[in-house]
Copies of this chain bind each other. A is one copy, B any other.
Amino acid sequence: MTDTEIGKEPFMDTYEDPGYARPDARVDVAIFSVRDAALKVLLIKRRVGPFKGQWALPGGTIHIEEDTDLESAAKRRLKALTGVASPYLEQLRTYGSRDRDPRRWSLTVGYYALVPSETLSLQAAEEAEDARWYTIDGDTVSVPLAFDHAQILSNAVTRLRSKVEYSPVAVHLLPEQFTLAELQRTYELILGETLDKSPFRRQVKATGLVEPVKGRMRQGAGRPAQLYRFAKRYDALFFPRSLARAHRPV
């Protein structure tokens, strides 16, 4: 008990440096989108430092003057890259160790983001930074990633797949208006398996997350499909997890 925060931390009410060495603190974001009928993630080619020339998740150091909180640090980077100001952004977990960056003790807060397929055009940053969309295959991509980014990406894909199973979170990958068939196809791309139409529609409608738009769309062929849009705030909208009810009395 010699090393508690209370024992070592000097009292101070100013912003002076407290005098101990801190880890490097960053955020890194797995930005997902659907392109060319595949789930893709946006990667950046590193031009300096360790892992130079390798692909990595976009991210950056937390700027204590500029960023008010962690999420704003992630959003700043995301907006600069994709132009999307308010994407679906969810914190994954934090990775920190002595070894993950060969230079020093480093910590990164991992996020994943879902960007609608209609806003896919990358900013000017694309050329400048050599940014590319890579197809998700299994829980990884076809190129090796810098640092522990393969681990972060794998966790992001797992989380997305898991979330998609009990919530209609995939609407964030679609344009503002979409058909239920498009929503289902997005689910199938994420999960990597086909779904039956009838129970899918039953579930989606039961959540109330989407609502029909009066107006129709047509495809290349077939009956026109009803367009839907995001109805409510995402919060608290879940498929009922029947497993969650496993022990719960009515």
Name A residues whose Cβ lies closer than 8 Å to a Cβ of B: 1, 3-6, 8-9, 11-15, 17-18, 20-26, 44, 46-50, 58-70, 76-77, 80, 91, 93-99, 102-105, 107, 109, 123-125, 128-129, 162, 165-166, 187, 191, 193-196, 199-200, 203, 239-244, 246-249
Q: Taking CB as reference atom, which chain B residue is nearest A68?
A: B98
Best-buried of A17, A18, A124, A242 by chain B (most CB within 10 Å): A242
Are B94 and A70 touching (Cβ within 8 A)? yes
Q: Taking CB as reference atom, which chain B residue is nearest A13?
A: B103
Question: In the complex, what distance in Å separates the CA atom of A4 from the CA atom of B56?
Answer: 13
User: Can you tell how many copies of this chain the complex includes?
Assistant: 2
Q: Which residues of B contact A69 (CB under 8 A)?
A: 96-99
> A249: which of B194, B240, B243 is its contact (CB, 8 Å)?
B194
Q: Which residues of B contact A98 (CB under 8 A)?
A: 64, 67-69
State the 3 A-B residue pairs at the shortest beta-carbon distance, nearest first: A69-B97, A241-B243, A242-B242
Question: In the complex, what distance in Å separates the CA atom of A163 from the CA atom of B107?
Answer: 26
Question: In the complex, what distance in Å separates the CA atom of A187 from the CA atom of B240?
Answer: 20
Question: In the complex, what distance in Å separates the CA atom of A223 from the CA atom of B76?
Answer: 63
A181 CB, nearest partner CB in chain B, Å: 14
Question: In the complex, what distance in Å separates the CA atom of A222 from the CA atom of B69?
Answer: 57
Question: In the complex, what distance in Å separates the CA atom of A241 from the CA atom of B14?
Answer: 50
> A70: which of B47, B97, B196, B247 is its contact (CB, 8 Å)?
B97
Question: In the complex, what distance in Å separates the CA atom of A14 from the CA atom of B212?
Answer: 58
Are B62 and A96 touching (Cβ within 8 A)? yes
Best-buried of A91, A247, A248, A249 by chain B (most CB within 10 Å): A247
